[in-house]
Amino acid sequence: MNITPCSIKTFKGLYDISGVEVGQHFYWQIGGFQIHAQVLITSWVVITILLGSVIIAVRNPQTIPTDGQNFFEYVLEFIRDLSKTQIGEEYGPWVPFIGTMFLFIFVSNWSGALLPWKIIELPHGELAAPTNDINTTVALALLTSAAYFYAGLSKKGLSYFEKYIKPTPILLPINILEDFTKPLSLSFRLFGNILADELVVVVLVSLVPLVVPIPVMFLGLFTSGIQALIFATLAAAYIGESMEGHH
């Protein structure tokens, strides 16, 4: 049996998943690369919003916090509590990572519903949330995978890999498969929910403009926040699991 052509075909099929798209999109052609301009533009808008908020928050801290400072301190405390609950007492170094994941996904999800992208005319398509593109969610999931591998290896060294043969070596294939299913579930859950929410709003706007889509948009804002919380919680839980051992 010739396995090589079959393997190449399988990897090509997995690579083609990155080209999944619904509707028309706006691209930039740079050399031999095709850049998804919608995702790139909205991602940098989200990053600018986050960086601007951080600069405002730390520029002039007060002993008696203002309303804005109270809000940012509440967000930080929320992220610290989330990290501590899932990771344990060694949560400190991971607060920036979990916080960045949560805030980027949260603002990205809301950007598709709140910001008036339709006033910006593009040659093709329209700007939308970065997280409704499979490439963005896969990148976030792979960063999470790299983080929990790093956490486990830095804590336990090469003995970290003993988890794959516990409680019995018979479970080795299943334990290995688990590390592949984690980023898949993280990426496709986030991508599917955000894409579905935006598609529902678009369909309702085209059928019954102005009135009916408004409650759905508010529901979308709620579910967008929940999706960011789920992603950050699972990322912290995976990191905590890799540091404590396989359960």
Domain presence at residue 23: no
* Residue range of the domain that includes 145: 65-243
Domain presence at residue 4: no
Domain presence at residue 69: yes
Tens-of-pLDDT digits for all 247 residues of the chain? 444 454 455 445 544 545 555 555 666 777 777 777 778 888 888 999 999 888 887 777 777 777 777 888 888 899 999 999 999 888 989 999 999 999 999 999 888 766 545 555 556 666 778 888 888 999 999 999 999 999 988 888 888 888 888 777 887 888 888 888 898 999 999 988 888 877 777 677 677 666 666 676 777 778 888 999 999 999 999 999 888 754 4
Domain presence at residue 1: no
Residue with tokens 């804002």: 221
Domain presence at residue 74: yes
pLDDT of amino acid 23: 53
Domain presence at residue 15: no
pLDDT of amino acid 4: 47
**Domain count of the chain?**
1
Q: What is the pTM of this model?
A: 0.80
CA 175 – CA 48 distance, rounded (Å): 40
Domain presence at residue 97: yes
Token pair, residue 121, equals: 């005319």
Token pair, residue 226, equals: 């929940």
Domain presence at residue 202: yes
